[in-house]
Amino acid sequence: MTRLPRILAGLAAALSASLLASACSAQPGAASVNGTSINASSLNAELAQLSANRAYIKAVNRASAQAGQQVSGAARGTYNSLWTAHVLTGLITAEAVGQYLHERGRQPGAYQVEVARAVEAADYGPYWQGFSASYRETLTNRAAELAQLGAPALPAAELRSAYKQLGGYLFTRVCVRAPVFATRAAAEAYASTVPSGSAAPGHGSAAVCYTPAQLDVQPAAFTNAVRALPVNGAGRVVATSSGYEVVVVTSRRAIPLDLTLRRTLDAVVASGSGAAPQVEAVLSRSKVTVDPQYGSWKGSAAQGYQVVPPRAPGA
Q: What is the pLDDT of residue 153?
A: 75
Mean pLDDT, residues 108-122 taken together: 93
Better-scored residue on pLDDT, 240 or 271: 240
Mean pLDDT, residues 54-69 taken together: 80
Query: In this structure, are residues 30 and 96 in contact, taking their beta carbons and an 8 Å threshold?
Result: no
3-state per-residue secondary structure call for 145-210 = HHHCCCCCCCCHHHHHHHHHHHHHHCEEEEEEECCEECCHHHHHHHHCCCCCCCCCCCCCCCCEEE
Reply yes or no on whether the pLDDT at 1 is more than 60. no
Mean pLDDT, residues 185-191 taken together: 90
Reply yes or no on whether the pLDDT at 200 is more than 60. no
Confidence class for position 28, pLDDT limits 50, 70, 90: low
Chain-wide mean pLDDT for the chain? 83
Q: What is the pLDDT of residue 2?
A: 46
pTM: 0.82
Domains of the chain (ranges; CATH) run 3-154+258-308 (no CATH), 171-254 (3.10.50.40)
Q: What is the pLDDT of residue 204?
A: 54
Reply yes or no on whether the pLDDT at 275 is more than 70. no
Better-scored residue on pLDDT, 232 or 139: 139
Region for residue 232 given its phi and psi (left: phi exceeds 0; alpha: psi -120 to 50; beta: otherwise)? left
